[in-house]
């Protein structure tokens, strides 16, 4: 009889400690630092009129860090490689200059960004989120002509707005996965004007 009481008391004590630990874990503030990385596809709305070929899509990757200030709001910093846009132009005659040879064009962009991220939890481990912020882009443009003037390189940089939205699933308290669409508005490409660049990506997020 004494052993049964002792065993029962031990079980109840263990259960109580487990419930207490779970309650404390749930009560912990939903704040702290996090790191993450993403892979996706970018697409620029560059005007390809007059080209013989144009590829406005490429792979994209991103690394980021953020601070979760509350359950609903975070500030995030990131570096994103937007990939490369390529096109080919035919030769043409330009009065006063003669025949301009065909050329291969390459436009590569990367951005540093900071944004506010607002979250809307709809279940214990699932939430929607949106972002708004600023980016600083660095774009390299390369023209390789089939004849003179040969290779012409240029670069440009600009600051603009970025917007996005997506959904997050928390696999554990520390590890989550995000699916997101994000737009970088009016990324400058030198003499090739400006274009919005959209990125569809999947991210892994690790919270500390």
Spatial separation of the C-alpha atoms in residues 78 and 69, rounded to whole Å: 17
Whether 185 shows a pLDDT value over 60: the answer reads: yes
Mean pLDDT score across all residues of the chain = 85
- Percent of the chain past pLDDT 70, that is, above it, reads 85
* Three-state DSSP class for residue 13: helix
pLDDT digits (tens, 9 = 90+) for 42-100: 999 887 787 888 899 999 999 999 999 999 999 999 999 999 999 898 887 778 777 87
Q: Which residues contact 131 (CB under 8 A, 6 or more apart)?
A: 76, 115, 116, 117, 118, 162, 163, 164, 165, 182
Half-sphere exposure of 136 (CA within 13 A, CB side): 4
Give me the mean pLDDT over the 160-164 stretch.
98
Fold classified for 31-207: Porin (2.40.160)
Domain boundaries, the chain: 1-29, 31-207
Whether 20 shows a pLDDT value over 60: the answer reads: no
pLDDT digits (tens, 9 = 90+) for 109-144: 999 999 999 999 998 899 999 999 999 999 999 988
Inter-residue contact 199 to 114 (CB < 8 Å): no
**What residue ranges in 122-171 does DSSP mark as E strands?**
126-145, 151-170
């Amino acid at each position: 009889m004494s052993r049964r009481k002792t065993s029962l008391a031990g079980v109840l004590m263990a259960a109580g400690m487990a419930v207490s630990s779970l309650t404390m874990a749930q009560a912990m503030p939903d704040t702290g630092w996090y790191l993450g990385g993403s892979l996706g596809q970018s697409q620029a709305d560059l005007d390809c009129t007059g080209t013989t070929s144009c590829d406005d899509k490429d792979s994209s990757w991103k690394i980021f860090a953020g601070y979760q200030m509350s359950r609903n709001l975070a500030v995030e910093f990131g570096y994103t490689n937007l990939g490369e846009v390529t096109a080919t132009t035919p030769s043409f005659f330009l009065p006063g200059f003669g025949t301009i040879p065909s050329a291969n064009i390459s436009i590569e962009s990367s951005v540093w960004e900071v944004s506010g991220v607002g979250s809307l939890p709809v279940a214990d481990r699932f939430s929607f989120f949106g972002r708004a912020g600023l980016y600083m882009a660095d774009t390299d443009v390369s023209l390789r002509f089939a004849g003179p003037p040969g290779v012409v390189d240029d670069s440009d940089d600009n600051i603009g707005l970025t917007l996005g939205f997506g959904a997050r699933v928390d696999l554990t308290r520390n590890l989550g996965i995000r699916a997101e669409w994000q737009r970088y508005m009016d990324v400058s490409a030198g003499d090739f004007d400006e274009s919005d660049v959209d990125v569809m990506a999947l991210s892994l997020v690790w919270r500390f």
